Structure 1
Amino acid sequence: MLISEAFKAFKATQNNVQWSVSAFNEKGELVLSLWHQFFQPVTVNGERAMKYVDRVSRWSGNGNSEFREKLDLATKNGATVRAIIAKTNSPEAIACGEDASKYKNTFSPKIDWVGSITKWDSDNFEIVFSKQV
């Protein structure tokens, strides 16, 4: 699935389909494209969940400042976070902050996941996702 199609699954529109990896939808939820390799399973209140751990300084590009701004706003407003899982054929390159558009990537909206930001210090961030019941 294309990234633009994944955002549409949440009724969110990217500012720029070439580089936007974050957008708010009509419900005020923050929709983020997040790399598969930075997720880890966790237990929250006895239930299985997924935690995303990353830092925005790991990568650069046009979408970076927009991503930071949206994380700031979502943290301030306590917005729900929705996930699009991005997978690449070159996880090592992504981990090093290389331009992801150079690689074969796929995008899958996790419609049944609802997340909340548990850490954001203007660089490092963590988001915990649970299945929506």
Structure 2
Amino acid sequence: MLISEAFAKFGAIQKNVQWSVSAVSESNELVVSLWNQFFEKRSKDTMTYIDKVSRWSGAGNNEFTAYLEKAFRDGLPVRAIIAKSKQPEVIAAGGAASNLGNTFHPKTDWIGEITEWDGDKFEIEFRLDK
């Protein structure tokens, strides 16, 4: 599935399909594309995404950071698109991801909240949306 199709599943439109990895949906939820390798299962009922915005410097980073700040400040729910790369080591090193054969899967049954945000490090805890 294309990343733009994954965003559309949540009623969200990227500002730029070449580099946007976040958007706010029609229902005022933050929709973010998140790398599968940075998820941890911390409890039976949740999955937690842990990362730093400083890990990468792609074109969408400023937009992503601004959306995280807004969602944290305003308490917006978060929806996840799971991104998976054939070259996770490039992702971990903060390299350019656009030509790595990535796949995108919208997790329409998950709802999340930002539980930590210090302007760099962030954690988003997801649970099943009942």
Q: Which of residues 40, 53, 58 in structure 2 aligns to 1:56?
A: 53
Equivalent residue for 1:10?
Answer: 10
Other structure's SS at 1:72 match: helix
- CA drift at 1:42: 1.6
Aligned length: 130
Other structure's SS at 1:111 match: coil
Other structure's SS at 2:66 match: helix
Equivalent residue for 2:24?
Answer: 24
Alignment of 1:1-133 (within 5 A): 1-43=1-43, 47-133=44-130
One-letter amino acid of the structure 2 residue matched with residue 66 of structure 1: E
Other structure's SS at 2:60 match: helix
CA distance in 1, matches of 2:100, 2:129: 32
The percentage of counterpart residues that share the same residue type is: 58
TM-score normalised according to structure 1 size: 0.96
> For structure 1, which runs of at least 5 residues remain unmatched after alignment?
none
The Cα RMSD (Å) is 0.6
CA distance in 1, matches of 2:83, 2:41: 17
> For structure 2, which runs of at least 5 residues remain unmatched after alignment?
none
Segments of 4+ in structure 1 off by > 2 A?
Answer: none
